[in-house]
Each structure stands twice: as C-alpha cells, then as structure tokens.
Amino acid sequence: MECEKEGCRAEAAVRLHIPWAGVETVCTAHGRALVQQDGVVAEPIEGAEWP
C-alpha cells in the first residue's frame, strides 16, 4: 500500500486518526511530521516499519 500524500510513492507504515481530517494512511516520513500535532493518533500498520 502506498502513502496517500500526493506525489509520495513510499510504502505506507501508519494509519493516522486526525480529528479534523479523518483517517489517512501515510509513510513513515509523513507520519512523523503529522503525529506531532495535537489530537492526532498513530496506529502502526501490521508488518510495516514504524519506529
């Protein structure tokens, strides 16, 4: 599964539950940046590398 962010072809590693935007499945790089925002909850995808 690929990252849902436009232009990103990296493998998805985490499902983010974002209160103002719903659920997004993103790669590690995008996940690290987004999970730092208040209210965002990260759910690692089984078998994916998520630090």
Backbone phi, psi, residue 11, to 5°: -70, 135
Alpha helix (H) ranges present in the chain? Answer: 28-34
Q: What is the residue range of 29's domain?
A: 1-51
Which segments in the chain show pLDDT lower than 70? none
Extended beta strands in the chain, E state: 14-18, 22-26, 41-44
Would you state the pLDDT for residue 49?
A: 79
Domain count, the chain: 1
Q: Judge whether 26 and 3 are in contact, CB under 8 Å.
A: yes
Would you state the pLDDT for residue 10?
A: 96
3-state secondary structure of 15: strand
State pTM to two decimals. 0.87
Would you state the pLDDT for residue 50?
A: 76
